Amino acid sequence: MGIRKSTNGNKPEISQITPAAAITGGELQIRGKSFSLGMRPRVTIGDVSAPLIIGSDSLLIVKVPEGASAGELVIENGQNASQSYTCDIGIMIAENLHPVTNPAVDSFGNIFSTFSGSRGQKVQHAVFKIDLNFNMKPFVSDLMNATALVFDRDGLLYISSRFDGVIYRVTPNGNMTVFVEGMGVATGLAFDREDNLYVGDRSGTIFKISPEGQIFVFATLEPSISAYHLAFGLDRNLYVTGPTTSSYDAVYRVNHQGEVEVFFRGLGRPQGMDFDENGNLYVAASYGGRKGVVRIKPDGVADLVVSGPSIVGLQFMPSRAMCVATTNALHRVDVGIRGARFVR
């Protein structure tokens, strides 16, 4: 990309772009100076023009366009062009899906995602497998409203059904059996280090299922309008989200005794979660009016790390990338962060 002739003092200068990563449709805030010089600036990501939402001489907000890829962001002000600024733009790796929470990533890096369908809808294929070359193939077919996915330490996949309240167990070759029944409107799933499985019921109950199949009521929360999402932190506490009609929802933390406290409040429609190796929590939500993936540090400080619309879940991959699930597709974002599950 050619840089135009410079007039001293009139060249756009980028000082910061937030967040550091985005998917198509996400918004980037760009700060610096000499962006407009009284004219409408032009922003490109790679060779694709990015629509301008807000523009001033020191602040631009642009939307990541279709076709943009990870690479150079450049601002032109009519006279000059800025130096390029590297942006991490996620790439779509699978589409025509219907995730309602996190995808699941196995130890090899294969990704599993649902086509959940509306409640009571019979779909042709319920779960798909996306291999390391991003080839997508049906994995499970005879299942209604596949909801949450989680792997145990032996590599078996567990799937909740919000239709029949059943948790299914699936072998690596796709053979499916019933693991447990009677879980209400079964949603989120998570294993602790002792191999107990936790199941969220949309009515507000968190069930605990021992390796021997014994069922306990572990904790109780307020009912959610859609689903509960579960994840264990490095502190061995269970973290729970359940979006309500409020725009000021919380992430809850549940200790070993099932006692519930608010860990963080101030999110819009918080959904799927994952942890990194440093104990930071990543949540699909909106924060401060901005949609995407929010990072919450152990001390409660939050910031947006991936911008994008309609994100329902995420999962870190062995390659230090993040697999981000929207309501109809999966994206790979090379964030350079190691997930807690891959810490040895």
Q: Which of 175, 171, 129, 165 is nearest to 144 (CA)?
A: 165
317 band by pLDDT with thresholds 50, 70 and 90: very high
Give the residue extent of every domain in the chain: 13-89, 91-342
pLDDT 10s digits, 295-314:
999 999 999 999 999 999 99
CA–CA dist 237, 55 (Å, integer): 44
CATH architecture of 13-89: Sandwich (2.60)
Burial track 243-260 (b if 16+ CB lie within 10 A, e otherwise): beeeeebbbbbbeeeeeb
CA–CA dist 109, 185 (Å, integer): 29
Indicate if the pLDDT at residue 4 is higher than 90. no
Tokens 């947006």 correspond to 304
Burial track 124-147 (b if 16+ CB lie within 10 A, e otherwise): ebbbbbbeeeeebeebbeebbbbb
Structure-token pair, residue 221: 């929360």
pLDDT 10s digits, 108-133:
999 999 999 988 888 999 999 999 99
pLDDT 10s digits, 16-44:
999 999 999 999 999 999 998 778 999 99
Indicate if the pLDDT at residue 232 is higher than 50. yes
Element counts in the chain: helices (H) and strands (E): 0, 33
What's the pLDDT at 38? 78
Indicate if the pLDDT at residue 268 is higher than 50. yes
pLDDT 10s digits, 133-175:
999 999 999 899 999 999 999 999 999 999 999 999 999 999 9
Domains 13-89 and 91-342 are alike in CATH topology:
no
Averaged pLDDT, 88-115: 97
Percentage of the residues of the chain whose pLDDT score is greater than 70: 97
Structure-token pair, residue 220: 């109780």
CATH 2.120.10.30 fits 91-342, yes or no: yes
Tokens 């799933």 correspond to 189
